[in-house]
Amino acid sequence: MTNQEIAKILDQAAKNAKTVPQMAEANKMTLAEAYAIQRQSIAMREQRGEQITGYKMGFTSKAKMEQMGVHDLIWGILTDEMEIQQGETVILSGWIHPKVEPEIAFRVSKDIDKQLILEELPEYLDAMAPALEIIDSRYENFNFSLEDVVADNCSSTGYVIGNWQPLSSNISNLKIDLIINDEVVESASSAAILKNPLQSVVELSRLAIQAGVIVKKGHVILAGAATKAHFLKQKQTLTATVESLGKVIFKTV
**Domain spans of the chain, in order of start:** 3-252
Compute CA distances 72 → 87, 106, 128, 203, whole Å: 34, 21, 24, 9
Low-confidence ranges of the chain (pLDDT < 70): 63-64, 67-68
State the pLDDT at residue 68.
67
- How many CB atoms within 10 Å of residue 210? 10
CA 156 to chain centre: 6
Q: What is the pLDDT of residue 67?
A: 65
Please state which CATH number belongs to domain 3-252: 3.90.850.10
Question: Which is nearest to 203 in space by CA: 97, 69, 55, 88?
Answer: 55
**pLDDT for res 236:** 99
Q: For the segment 171-228, what is each residue's pLDDT rounded down to a tens digit?
A: 999 999 999 999 999 999 999 999 999 999 999 999 999 999 999 999 999 999 999 9
In the Cβ-directed half-sphere of 207, how many Cα atoms lie within 13 Å?
Answer: 19
The pLDDT of residue 77 is 99
